[in-house]
Structure 1
Amino acid sequence: MKRSLNKDAMTPEKGEEDMTSALTVSICLPTCNRPELIVECLDSCLAQTYPHIEILVGDDSRDDVTQQLIATRYAHDARIRYVRHDPPLGQARNVASLFERAAGTLVMLIHDDDYLAPEGVARLAALWQIYPHLEVAFGDQHEVDASGHVDAQRSAALNAAFHRTRRAQGMQMLPGRTGLVQMFPNNGWMALATLVRCVGYREDAGACCDFVFGVELCLAASQVYYLHEYVSYYRKTPVSISQSTRVSPFAAAFTAYSFVLRLTLDASLETARGKALRRLAPIVVSLHAKHDAPLAALRVALDHPDAYAYGLNLRLYYHLALIARALLAVCVRQRPRAPRFP
């Protein structure tokens, strides 16, 4: 359900209405046990061409390797404000704590295994000079493999898959749709700090907290701008998966589906909800079937026939086969065994 937000709390303070290049951007960087990756991320933040930045690091690591690395390598750079959490806060509370510590008018989020393009901050911050009442801005993401190689073709496909195309550039007519259809990226975005703090990161969303935050941020905003330029690098490797997701790798899809299904939305956003569910429903069907919940899988499939082009998509028949196999396995397990006699 969409949470009620106090619009007065999001009104810029005195002096913030004149959006100029002097606005400070707080780059929020949550990290956990990735000292081998955070250096590239931090160096990309420090290399920004936009001068008015602070870099907030929230460290959930179980050891002090990252702490020692930052103390040694970045000791003399006052732009970095580092805090280690003991005990760890978890992803959502870590990010929320960074938002609370942010002193800048604008906030940007970048995860520790990703990094920023040198002009990333400048490109997004410049939009506030053109649109003084802008609340949220985001751009494209490069896709990077484990070895650090950027694949231009895969990067273009990644953005196109999430509706980030040249045709879509500009102020979004339905900001809520931007979050629902996952056009809004998981990081590399920029937003007013007051709005970000009002929305917050939900701990109950678990591994899905990035998606839930993006949807709620876009629903709360009235001016969201998409810039068709690369501003960040998204690293696609096994270490991109959070620790909680490793334990239950499908929790995010289930949470996202349930969250979208239960949202209270204006009628203008029902089409966007349908598009979001068409993306999520087949994933949920497959996961239910593979985890011995065939009846739950069948219910979701029947609830969303449009996700399978009303029977014209071969994916439906593959999923029905998975459901049948799972149902048979359940029946075999539940069949009473014949008594053994000596």
Structure 2
Amino acid sequence: METSYPIRLTQQVKAGGCASKLAPGSLRAVLERLPAQHDQNLLVGFDTSDDAGIYLIAPDAALVQTVDFFTPLVDDPFTFGQIAAANALSDVYAMGGRPLTSLAVVCFPQDGDMEILEQIMRGGLNKMSEAECAVAGGHTVRDAEIKFGYAVTGMIDPARVFTNAGAILGDDLILTKAIGTGVITTALKQGRAEPLWVENAIRSMTALNRTAAEVITQVRGVHGMTDITGFGLMGHGREMAMASGVTLEIEVETVPRMDGALEAIRLGAIPAGLLANRDFTECVIAEAPGSHIPDELRTLMFDPQTSGPLLISVAAESAELLRKALRDAGIAAERIGRVAGVYRPESGNPAIVLR
């Protein structure tokens, strides 16, 4: 549970967590205008919208690198630091890598309470220690809004890299956590969240994706993977579909959701990031004929997640084995759909079908 603090961190910022990211459409428009890089050792760069970059340093070894930081989405500083660390580490896990070192990224008011900053950094160090990832240093700047996170470097086998471009027709889709952190933390910011909603959301956001990644790398048949963060299930699903040239079919009722997520939506706790995600992805999403998806459930599909689940595209014959292995390891994984077709933008086919 959150501890009592004289300053509510969520009241000091306009948007919290991964909901504070730039709108995906705006970011994509900028990235598409940048010149191509020609370095044969850069195995994965920003052009594929993957979770982290991969750089080859030896025939059998590569670096995996990412950076992630954001504004507070909970009021307790220590908890905020834990969530920021877990979220940054997740990008490495999503590629199949092992984190080694990290650098803290800190934006903090000049006249801010240094005890709050200490607790934020203690929380981050707590999760980095759990991940066996050394904090080697960092960088700070003065800023009116608090922001915190990490640049993380890890190692990865270049022959065993999971990207969002690996999904194959016929694969099953598995999700490793429930979604709903965006709307629940928005309800918290608005003072309308039930304590149990927040407690469950914090438990999810502070849980590392380390165990899930370790299980996934041991199962044959995994073709692609991404983690679900600021662009929501639909935004990151769109990236996987387009990068792989496939259509994802999502069985909406099977998508695990946090207690209180739909209630938060009904209360109007809609983060701006959710609306931006919907604007960006709606044009490539269709509902299956005969589907009757409740509006609040459909809305949740666009919710920006912080330290969210892994979305795995795995061969259908290996899907149940993977799900059981994850569940045996304490990961509440669920099958949420399949790779149902080929995506061709010029034909007007959707990238995602909701059923």
Compute the TM-score of the two structures, normalised by the length of structure 1: 0.36
Compute the TM-score of the two structures, normalised by the length of structure 2: 0.35
Structure of higher RCO (CA pairs closer than 8 Å, 6+ residues apart): 2
* Higher strand fraction (1 or 2): 2
